[in-house]
Every structure is written in C-alpha cells, then in structure tokens.
Amino acid sequence: MKRDFAFAVKAIIIKEDRFLVLHRSPEEIESSILNKHEAWDLPGGGVHFFETTERALFREVKEETSIKVRLIKLMNAYDAIRTALHLVILTYICQYTDGDVALSNEHDRFYWLTLNEMQEMNLPHWMIRDFRNATEELMNIANLEKIEQKNFYINPTL
C-alpha cells in the first residue's frame, strides 16, 4: 500500500469582530480525500515543495477568496492520520486587510460571522473552538501591547 505525507495551511481570518467561514462546493466535498462529510471550511490548502508555509497561506487565501490578509501568528498544528495519508495542518490567525471576497470553484458560499452567529448556524464544534481560541489569542496580544506601551517611556528631553 502506498502511503503519502502532505502538509497544509489554513487561515482563521478576522475582520473586526467577524470571522470568514467558507462553504465547500458539492464537487469539492465529493473529491475530498479526508473529509467527505464536512461542508464548512477555512481558506487554505496544500504547501508546495520549496514553498514556505507563510507563502502558501497567502497564495491559498488569494486563490480561494481573492482577499489579502496579514499573518498574526501560528495558532496550532493538527495531524490528520488515515490509512494511506498523514496530513499535517498548520492553522494561522490572520487579519483581513483588503479586497472583496470572490470565491474559487472550491466553495459556493461565504459568511463573515460573529461567534454567536456561528452557534446559530450549527457550524462544526472544531471550527467554533478554533475561532474562540483565536479570539482569546488576539485579546492576549492586545493586552500585551497595552502593557508594553505603558512600560515603554522615552524621555523627550534627551
């Protein structure tokens, strides 16, 4: 039996208090190797040989949504291990910077949702969990920046 190893990136994209959620097209669901039962998705995809994960992330986000993002930080790594495939997925927190969403044929709908709206739409538990974790990470970063600004003082007379 042939076994494969693959590397992928995913983006949790935040715009103000909303997160970008994609709905997979029927063709994308049918052609999926790993998950034929999940309709919801994050922007992202495979990392090419000789491509950094950050470059792959920007490329995949642009290909799938036509928007631009700023990478904030790596949030987590996930191993999807199946009989013939081991896929490592790195999920990054990103901030929306520019553009209007225009979907590739991999997805047929998109939503900018708050955490409360996600629960109302019955999104997968893992997705809501990751969006909550991203929100906590962003709050921690904002708090650290406030602390650093308070502790950093330049004497204007020097």
Architecture (CATH level 2) of domain 4-151: Alpha-Beta Complex (3.90)
* Residue 96 banded pLDDT, cuts 50, 70, 90: very high
* CA distance readout (Å), 72 to 24, 113, 134, 135, 154: 25, 19, 10, 12, 27
Average pLDDT over residues 12-36: 91
Q: What is the pTM of this model?
A: 0.87
Give the pLDDT confidence score for residue 148 in this predicted structure: 64
> Cα–Cα distance between 154 and 158 in angstroms, integer?
8
Residues 104-115 as b or e (16 or more Cβ within 10 Å = b): bebbeebbbbee
Over 70: is that where the pLDDT of 150 sits? no
Query: What pLDDT shows up at residue 106?
Result: 95
Domain positions in the chain: 4-151
Q: Which of 14-18, 108-112, 145-149 is predicted least confidently? A: 145-149
